[in-house]
């Protein structure tokens, strides 16, 4: 399994659930990452073998001419290194955790090993050229797993030639170890935003909504849990400057990264998810599993996790006034918040459970692996084993 970072955000957390599911089902798992971070200790605790190998990661910034040229210059050396890693490990399947690692798709194919790519992000708001460029490496994968109907539709539109090789496996999200309890209201109403501090996650919209509520005389506090994504340190600085202005002074807490997230959810009254785009949105499901009402932007990924008025409230993206109105509604109607929280938890447990996720993920990989699961069945440098899905077409 190749993954682009050792952080503990959406795709990283989902990798942990993938590893846990496969280990429970008897697979040997070797995870390769180019960096160090908190993910590594979690992987080791699950019984995975972890290797740190320097390899490039495709970023959106790489879509520029300079970025593309730099990656192209590094590609031959990276591909040779990764192919050696695949030959040495001798896997039945190479699992690539996101489409930002095309070198691993090439390395697996060059070594004659079946390859699966797990796509966690695909947004229609990206330019068509960017969507096509990001999806193009999927032509190298035997199977591409997508985490939502949104990801499925965007990916199949950008790369129609891989449509028959797409498999929908919705995320499995782990709930809190202890049954959640409603927060005892005292003092200000607490809003929580969880996720990377980046423009796409739009925490600035949450700040403006909190400012509107406070200006209207409603006592609210806002907590931001997350760290800046690469290149977004300036954006995080601007958020802090905004929070120091009189209408928000002393009302915003920048917690930084927090894992597990359940203590932050326990001290909140509502989870706010103002993202400009999501393919799935684990934070929303975590809020539901923590039995907190959710107010989320009405972007495609959230439409799959929030049934408006039943398991949460949806508001237009980039609309702090609508977000403030939804929070005020929850402040005024405690019964509504409790109904949303209870229905959200029940629905999230049913739709996004770990057992279902593990069974579906393992089925995809078992269908892809050679019939003979012994190490001798993998023929590095030899003819590519014909995966089972090639002999037994699946819709």
Q: Which residue has the tokens 């193009």?
A: 136
> Comparing C-alpha atoms, which of 283, 285, 134 is closest to residue 196?
283
**Residue 300 near residue 278 (C-beta atoms within 8 A):** yes
Question: Residue 314 has which token pair?
Answer: 């949806």
What average pLDDT score do residues 153-166 get? 95
In the predicted model, what is the mean pLDDT of residues 223-233? Answer: 90
Task: Compute the distance between CA of residue 28 and CA of residue 211 in angstroms, rounded to an integer.
Answer: 51
Predicted TM-score of the model (pTM): 0.85
- Summarize pLDDT for 41-62 with one digit per residue, the tens: 999 999 999 999 988 887 655 5
Rg (CA), the chain: 22
Average pLDDT over residues 242-262: 95
In this prediction, residues 287-296 reach a mean pLDDT of 97
Note the Cα 40 to chain centre separation in Å.
17
pLDDT number for residue 63 = 53
**Percentage of the chain lying above the pLDDT 90 cut:** 75
Check the CA dihedral 190-192-293-359 and report its sign. negative
If one counts every other C-beta atom within 10 angstroms of the C-beta of residue 286, the result is 25
What is the torsion angle, in degrees rounded to the nearest 10, for the CA atoms of residue 96, residue 99, residue 100 and residue 106?
60
**Hey, what domains does the chain have and what are their CATH numbers?**
10-172+354-386 (3.40.50.2000), 189-351 (3.40.50.2000)
Cα–chain center distance at 238 = 25
- Percentage of the chain with pLDDT > 70? 89
Residues with Cβ within 8 Å of residue 216, at least 6 apart in sequence: 324, 328
Structure confidence at residue 256 as a pLDDT band (50, 70, 90): very high
More confident residue, 224 or 257: 224
207 or 259: whose pLDDT is higher? 207
CA distance 353 to 281: 15
User: What is residue 304's predicted lDDT score, i.e. its pLDDT?
Assistant: 94
Mapped onto helix, strand or coil, the DSSP state of residue 347 is helix
Q: What is the DSSP letter of 161?
A: G
Mean per-residue pLDDT, 320-333: 98
As given in the structure block, the two tokens for residue 282 are 């684990």
Distance CA 56, CA 70 (A): 10
């Amino acid at each position: 399994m190749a993954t682009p970072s050792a952080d503990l955000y959406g795709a990283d957390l989902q990798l942990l659930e993938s590893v846990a599911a496969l280990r429970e089902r008897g697979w040997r798992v070797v995870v390769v990452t180019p960096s160090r971070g908190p993910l590594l200790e979690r992987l080791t605790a699950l019984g995975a073998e972890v290797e740190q190998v320097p390899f490039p990661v495709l970023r959106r910034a790489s879509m520029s001419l300079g970025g593309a040229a730099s990656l192209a210059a590094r590609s031959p050396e990276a591909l040779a290194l990764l192919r050696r890693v695949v030959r040495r490990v001798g896997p039945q399947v190479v699992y690539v955790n996101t489409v930002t690692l095309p070198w691993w798709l090439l390395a697996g194919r060059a070594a004659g090993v079946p390859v699966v790519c797990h796509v966690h992000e695909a947004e229609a708001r990206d330019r068509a050229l960017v969507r096509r460029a990001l999806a193009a490496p999927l032509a190298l994968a035997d199977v591409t797993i997508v985490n939502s109907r949104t990801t499925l539709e965007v990916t199949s539109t950008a790369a129609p030639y891989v449509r028959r090789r797409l498999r929908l496996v919705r995320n499995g999200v782990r709930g809190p170890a202890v049954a959640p309890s409603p927060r005892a209201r005292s003092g200000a109403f607490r809003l929580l935003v969880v996720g990377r501090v980046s423009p796409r996650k739009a925490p600035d919209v949450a700040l403006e909504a909190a400012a509107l509520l406070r200006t209207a005389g409603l006592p609210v506090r806002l907590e931001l849990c997350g760290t800046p994504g690469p290149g977004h340190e300036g954006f995080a600085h601007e958020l802090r400057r905004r929070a120091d202005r009189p209408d928000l002074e002393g009302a915003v807490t920048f917690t930084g990264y927090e894992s597990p997230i359940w203590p932050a959810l326990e001290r909140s009254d509502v989870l706010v998810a103002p993202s400009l785009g999501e393919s799935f949105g684990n934070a929303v499901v975590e809020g539901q599993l923590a039995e907190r009402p959710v107010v989320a932007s009405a972007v495609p990924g959230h439409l799959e996790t929030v049934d408006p008025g039943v398991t949460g409230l949806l508001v237009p993206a980039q609309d702090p006034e609508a977000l403030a109105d939804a929070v005020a509604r929850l402040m005024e109607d405690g019964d509504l918040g409790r109904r949303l929280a209870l229905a959200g938890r029940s629905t999230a447990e049913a739709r996004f459970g770990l057992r279902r996720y593990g069974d579906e993920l393992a089925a995809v990989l078992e269908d892809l692996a050679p019939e003979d699961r012994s190490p001798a069945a993998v023929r590095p440098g030899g003819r590519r084993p014909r995966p089972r899905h090639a002999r037994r077409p699946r819709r």
